[in-house]
Amino acid sequence: MFGLRRTLLACALAAGVVASAVPTATPQVAVAADPPWTIPTSPPRCTTTQANNGDVAGCVLMAGAELPDARGWPRAPFPEPENPTVVAWVNLGLGANETTVAKVQEALNRAGASLIADGAFGSQTLAAVKAYQYANSLPVTGVVDQVMATKLGVQRTVGGTFPPTGWKWLGWGYNGSPALAAFERQLVANTTPIGAMRVGQLRSFKDALPLFEGFYAEIQRKGYVINDGGTWVFRCTASTRKDCAGQTRYSLSNHAFGLASDINTVKNPMVRYYAINGVTACSTPMKTDMPRWVVQTAEKWGLYWGGYAWTSGCQSPTQWRSSVVRDPMHFEFNGTPAQAQAILRRNTGSGKCIDVVNEAGVQVNWCLMRGETPPAGTRVAVTTAPPAGATAALVNIVSTGVQAPGWLAAEDCAARPTGNRAWSTANVRVGRTTSSTAVVPLDSKGRFCIYQSSAFHLVVDVQGYFSPSAAAPDGNLFTPVSPMRTVDSRTNTYCTPEGVCFAPSPVVAPTEVMSVAATGMTPVATMANITVVAPSAPGYTVAGSCDVLAPGAQRYSNVNFTNLDPATANMAVVPTLSTELGSQFCTWSTRNTQLVVDVTGFFAPPAQGGLGYTALTPSRLVDTRKCWKDPITQVERCNLPNAAGSIVRIAAPAGASAVLVNLVAVNATAPGTVTPAACSTFTAARPTAPAVQAVVGGAVANLAAVPVDPDGTFCVKVSSQMHVVADLVGTFSPTGDLRYVTVTPSRLLDSRPPA
């Protein structure tokens, strides 16, 4: 029936959540009722992390003396006496406890203090009084005298009309009073019966009501019989005066906010129990009809049970208490609106929970509702298990179930506002499942974040890591090569690793196709651009070492494709087997498709030479939709599409031998390709390999490692009219310190609901 409020729980998610419907099945009476829990002991308090994640089963949510509006709920009005009489001031000091102290506390808060205006003059109020006296050149006595009260604008009053105008006391609450009309409009009620609970019997704020609905529905389904129950009653606590006469706002009950519920009041009375014959009051049985499982169900829904006792609750049956007040009819929610949302999601969601990071950089475990897709503005946290010292990961990011065109950006998980980024990692389109390889920074927890500009699901697979040479002295260096086409099933014979070869034709799923690139080194991984052309149906392609890869269920993918586009490409770094024929890896697809594989570089042990990697904060080098200059000619072009066959020259960072860039084809007027290479490659007519397969009406991206010419530039060539965007991710150079560490590819994240 009453609940003193306890420590403030921190706020978590900034985004709002729409509550889903709760079950309303007819209650089923249990075959055998469990006995009442007459000597209960409280479980541990929920940590802030548990509360923010909604994972509160087995712990209790408790608040401090703050009112719910300090935790994010709407502020309630209060029936202050009308036209009181001003009387002579009485000095107030440590230990005073009355409404005038509350007025002083509120005035000190307006002057910059942070007090709970509960009318109790304690040590914190004493410190605030002294600080105010010092700041205002008053004698620092710690006593509020007439001079200080006048300066604060506080008067001592008595009497007055109570209840004031607009307040009507019904004998049990002020519900329906005109003064409460605006506040009541913020409450919502159950719209369908919940077992014995009639429509409209439960009233609370929209974020909290589903917790009480879920609790009532679940305990009735499991056999607990409810004779009476409810939530919202605007009154003060039963330990003060319910009509609030002579009280402060801090005597308001959680019932006044719709954040408490009483059930079966006659069978579960509020009683003070005493120690008997030297035996602690915690061992005195109480009157209740509540089985323990009912209380545990309440905790799963985030509700604190008054049967644990107020103020001096019992944490064990042997804890000494001379008396305890137990209130077994009473259940209340002491969390924030965001925590209520998190609890609801965990209890009624799809069963899929992901880690998300808000604008403040706070991570919470966020459970998706049934049918929900992570919305626009979500920052999904991806936790890896990197080798010791790794500072970046090579991952494949798949977007699926896209609800609106947009983009994603892989970034660190530091505090960052919602909105546009200065770069992108991938672009997404409705109806397409898109794969995008990325090199992402890792924090000290082995995490990175993915920000998404529209609603879609994410799947993330790790392929490898980059570590400083000190942490990975045997880590691998990169050697770019002139593109080598190892497979083109449209025009050339292709073979399986068993030596079975086929004439040019679509590869029939799940045929395994071998790529062999002749090199003078023994690489551990190969960088290759894999292109799927004219697939028979949506599916995916996997690449891996031929001695490991086999058709069947996989822990990762490299290219996800749809038959809506003529061609789909993605860069992959593939574990490689060195043979006497050359560097060998294999691919296989879930659908019949034409396959093109272009090898663009190798990662090999440092003894074989190569370039180290330097990770950079992603930055936009060129966006031809805006103004940009050719770094050699200094000719400026502004929002001019690149004609078919044109070449865009881009300046690389000083000292770079190759750049890792994310290339985006935008606003293509016809299907085409974007081909990156050293600018001299195009003039020398050496082989080149497209990286991006442009489509009409969409933005398509792919990662590419591009050699840099001695003049410090690299180029991209377009085969049809389009705009080009290039975002710099990192560089390869002789002085780059990061080395590539291979791992068995595996899945890190899949936000899609369980099958």
Looking at the fold, whether 117 and 244 belong to one and the same domain comes out as no
Res 687: pLDDT: 61
Interatomic CA distance for residues 382 and 144, integer angstroms: 55
- Helices (H), ranges, 7-88: 48-53
**Residue 239 CB burial class (10 angstroms; 0-12, 13-18, ≥19):** middle
Looking at the fold, whether 172 and 316 belong to one and the same domain comes out as yes
Looking at the fold, whether 326 and 200 belong to one and the same domain comes out as yes
Res 8: pLDDT: 23
- Domain assignment present for residue 748? The answer is no
Res 312: pLDDT: 63
Res 33: pLDDT: 61
| Contact (Cβ atoms closer than 8 angstroms) between residue 168 and residue 175 | no
Res 697: pLDDT: 86
Looking at the fold, whether 189 and 318 belong to one and the same domain comes out as yes
Interatomic CA distance for residues 486 and 596, integer angstroms: 8
Res 151: pLDDT: 95
- Domain assignment present for residue 28? The answer is no
Indicate which CATH number applies to the domain containing 313. Answer: 3.30.1380
For residue 500, count other CB atoms closer than 10 A to its CB.
11
Res 313: pLDDT: 74
- Domain assignment present for residue 6? The answer is no
Res 379: pLDDT: 97
Indicate which CATH number applies to the domain containing 140. Answer: 1.10.101.10
Looking at the fold, whether 364 and 333 belong to one and the same domain comes out as no
Interatomic CA distance for residues 225 and 135, integer angstroms: 60
Looking at the fold, whether 176 and 106 belong to one and the same domain comes out as no
Indicate which CATH number applies to the domain containing 649. Answer: 2.60.120
User: Structure pTM?
Assistant: 0.82
Interatomic CA distance for residues 403 and 399, integer angstroms: 11
Residues 6 or more apart whose CB falls under 8 angstroms from that of 555 comprise 461, 745, 746, 747
Write the DSSP symbol of residue 252: B
DSSP one-letter string for 558-574: SEEE-TTSSEEEEEEEE
Looking at the fold, whether 624 and 709 belong to one and the same domain comes out as yes
Looking at the fold, whether 507 and 587 belong to one and the same domain comes out as yes
- Domain assignment present for residue 277? The answer is yes
Give the residues of the chain that fall short of pLDDT 50: 1-32
Query: Considering its fold, how many domains does the chain have in total?
Result: 5
**Residue 654 CB burial class (10 angstroms; 0-12, 13-18, ≥19):** exposed
Write the DSSP symbol of residue 641: P
- Domain assignment present for residue 14? The answer is no
What is the helix, strand, coil percentage profile of the chain, to 5? 15, 35, 50
Beta strands in 605-737 (DSSP E): 612-623, 627-629, 636-638, 647-651, 658-666, 672-677, 692-694, 700-707, 713-718, 723-733
Res 62: pLDDT: 86
- Domain assignment present for residue 468? The answer is no
| Measured CA distances, 332 to 62, 212, 609, 634 (Å) | 9, 9, 67, 69
- Domain assignment present for residue 39? The answer is no
Looking at the fold, whether 447 and 575 belong to one and the same domain comes out as no
Q: For 733, list phi and psi in degrees, rounded to 5.
A: -160, 165
Question: Is the C-alpha dihedral spanning 731, 734, 737, 740 positive or negative?
Answer: positive
Interatomic CA distance for residues 755 and 747, integer angstroms: 16
- Domain assignment present for residue 7? The answer is no
Looking at the fold, whether 251 and 199 belong to one and the same domain comes out as yes
Whole domain around residue 560: which residue ranges?
A: 477-604
Looking at the fold, whether 318 and 369 belong to one and the same domain comes out as no
Looking at the fold, whether 265 and 195 belong to one and the same domain comes out as yes
